[in-house]
């Protein structure tokens, strides 16, 4: 397949976003995965946007990635979230000095030539998110031939119907010591069962189902980043890629809600008013408040992304958490304000605002969650170490 270099032309991204939006309601209603969206992204080269140039990618940074994610999220945030996971994974792999070169090349070349998707599978039924501590129940054990045998159960595997690669968070014993980290698992490996458990109120088309791994065997060099638990320390760059792109997804939802609201207020002409609702000071004040919040979001996302691209020592992981917190809180407020103006119309399944409302609720489940972000920032400001 010919490698396509993506263009960040806003008109192309807007065209893709409109195409995604036209299909979003159908995929939301039946909880189906938007394979056609992924195909369009592949054909336009966006699946390898941040993969290194010397591996066939476009080599773009966080600013470019945030622009793409934000615009596409206005059309279908589920697809944008799957793409955000691709970018976060690729950025982390590109920075890592631990990945075997052959395996790194394989993942990046597959993305550039075939549109292969990757995501990290970290959350488990008992553990929850490893961001809050604890070792995974998923295990990796050496076989007699030196390969790895992986057994475990992962939940919330975003994009699993279309993934080519799974970065499985697991534990093992090396020389009698516990180690934890990521094993690269081809998604078509024998022993992987996808259980369709995802039936959420929002972000339904992410199809974030369970993945059960039973004696899944991968080569020795697919233990791509395995360390002692004490060696896993916060990485501000990784934290910023995660929080900025997650924030961009939910900011995109809020912008879509805002645009629908503006159109509705202009079109709605009650008989007793004889003019559109857009002429009312109450409507104007509300839209002004919405635009103020979205202005903060836009500046915060763009400035943080730019500084991350330019500064080899970016903001702390605590500050990264605050970026997500502020942006997603504003996104919630935007959609809630829109609902307060539209009443029953906004909650009708005939209109997209109720879908935007359900989707924006899901921002609270992504790592770092609000309490973790605020506690980390508070500790840093007060000079208090974590217990």
Domain ranges of the chain: 10-117, 120-230, 236-382
- pLDDT of 165: 98
- pLDDT of 318: 86
The answer to whether the beta carbons of residues 169 and 121 sit under 8 Å apart is yes
Pairing of strands 117-121, 163-174: parallel
- pLDDT of 132: 76
Q: Among 1.10.10.10, 1.10.2020.10, 1.20.140.10, 3.40.50.150, what is the CATH number of 236-382?
A: 1.20.140.10
Cα–Cα distance measured from residue 343 to residue 348, given in angstroms and rounded to the nearest whole number: 9
- pLDDT of 5: 72
- Whether 387 shows a pLDDT value over 70: the answer reads no
- pLDDT of 2: 61
- pLDDT of 299: 98
Q: How confident is the model at residue 1 (pLDDT cuts 50, 70, 90)?
A: low
Domain 120-230 annotated CATH 2.40.110.10: yes
Q: Which of 51, 130, 49 is nearest to 93 (CA)?
A: 51
Cα–Cα distance measured from residue 36 to residue 81, given in angstroms and rounded to the nearest whole number: 15
Where does the chain show beta strands of DSSP type E? 117-121, 139-142, 148-157, 163-174, 177-186, 192-195, 209-218, 223-227
- pLDDT of 311: 84
| Residue 231 token pair | 């060696």
- pLDDT of 8: 83
Q: Which of 132, 38, 153 is nearest to 86 (CA)?
A: 38
Cα–Cα distance measured from residue 117 to residue 332, given in angstroms and rounded to the nearest whole number: 29
- pLDDT of 129: 80
| Residue 125 token pair | 């039924």
Task: Tell me the mean pLDDT in the region 122-147.
Answer: 90
Rounded to two decimals, what is the model's pTM?
Answer: 0.96
Task: Tell me the mean pLDDT in the region 166-171.
Answer: 98
pLDDT in tens, 314-329: 777 788 999 999 999 9
Query: 226 pairs with which residues across the strands?
Result: 181
Q: Which of 382, 366, 283, 266 is nearest to 325 (CA)?
A: 366
Cα–Cα distance measured from residue 371 to residue 193, given in angstroms and rounded to the nearest whole number: 34
- pLDDT of 279: 97
| Residue 239 token pair | 């934290």
Q: Which residue has the tokens 């002004």?
A: 288
The answer to whether the beta carbons of residues 28 and 207 sit under 8 Å apart is no
Cα–Cα distance measured from residue 170 to residue 30, given in angstroms and rounded to the nearest whole number: 32
Count of residues for the chain?
Answer: 387
| Residue 310 token pair | 């330019």
Domain 10-117 annotated CATH 1.10.540.10: yes
- Whether 4 shows a pLDDT value over 80: the answer reads no
Where does 38-162 show beta strands of DSSP type E? 117-121, 139-142, 148-157
Task: Tell me the mean pLDDT in the region 133-138.
Answer: 90
- pLDDT of 344: 94
Distances (CA, A) of 116 to 6, 38, 48, 213: 16, 10, 9, 20
For the chain, give the mean pLDDT.
94
pLDDT in tens, 21-60: 999 999 999 999 999 999 999 999 999 999 999 999 999 9
The answer to whether the beta carbons of residues 171 and 140 sit under 8 Å apart is yes
pLDDT in tens, 206-244: 999 999 999 999 999 999 999 999 999 888 899 999 999
* Number of CB atoms found within 10 A of residue 26's CB: 11
| Residue 267 token pair | 């079109």
Task: Tell me the mean pLDDT in the region 189-197.
Answer: 98
At 127, is the secondary structure helix, strand, or coil?
Answer: coil
- Whether 347 shows a pLDDT value over 90: the answer reads yes
- pLDDT of 70: 98
């Amino acid at each position: 397949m010919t490698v396509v270099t993506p263009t960040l032309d806003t008109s192309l991204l807007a065209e893709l976003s409109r195409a995604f939006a036209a299909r979003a309601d159908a995929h939301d209603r039946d909880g189906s995965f938007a394979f056609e969206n992924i195909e369009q992204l592949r054909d336009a080269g966006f699946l390898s946007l941040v993969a290194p140039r010397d591996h066939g990618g476009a080599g773009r940074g966080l600013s470019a990635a945030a622009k793409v994610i934000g615009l596409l999220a206005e059309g279908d945030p589920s697809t944008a979230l799957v793409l955000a996971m691709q970018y976060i994974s690729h950025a982390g792999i590109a920075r890592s000095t631990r990945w075997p070169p052959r395996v790194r090349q394989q993942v990046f070349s597959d993305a550039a030539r075939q549109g292969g998707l990757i995501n990290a599978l970290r959350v488990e039924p008992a553990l929850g998110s490893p961001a809050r501590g604890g070792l995974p129940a998923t295990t990796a054990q050496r076989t007699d031939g030196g390969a790895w045998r992986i057994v475990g159960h992962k939940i919330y595997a975003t994009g699993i119907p279309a993934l080519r690669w799974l970065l499985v968070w697991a534990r093992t014993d090396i020389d009698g010591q516990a180690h934890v980290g990521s094993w690269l698992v081809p998604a078509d490996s024998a022993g992987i069962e996808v259980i369709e458990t995802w039936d959420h109120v929002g972000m339904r088309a992410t199809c974030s189902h369970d993945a059960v791994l039973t004696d899944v065997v991968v080569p020795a060099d697919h233990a791509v980043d395995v360390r002692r638990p004490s060696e896993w320390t916060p990485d501000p760059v990784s934290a910023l890629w995660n929080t900025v792109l997650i924030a961009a997804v939910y900011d995109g939802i809020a912008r879509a809600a805002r645009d629908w609201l503006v159109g509705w207020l202009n079109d709605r002409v009650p008989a007793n008013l004889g003019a559109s609702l857009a002429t009312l000071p109450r409507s104007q004040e509300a839209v002004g408040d919405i635009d103020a919040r979205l202005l903060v979001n836009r500046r915060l996302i763009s400035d943080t992304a730019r500084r991350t691209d330019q500064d080899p020592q970016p903001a702390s992981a605590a500050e990264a958490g605050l970026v997500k917190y502020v942006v997603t809180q504003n996104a919630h407020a935007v959609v809630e304000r829109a609902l307060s103006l539209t009443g029953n119309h906004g909650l009708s399944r005939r209109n997209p605002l109720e879908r935007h409302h359900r989707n924006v609720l899901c921002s609270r489940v992504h790592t770092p969650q609000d309490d973790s972000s605020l506690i980390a920032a508070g500790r840093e400001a007060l000079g208090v170490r974590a217990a």
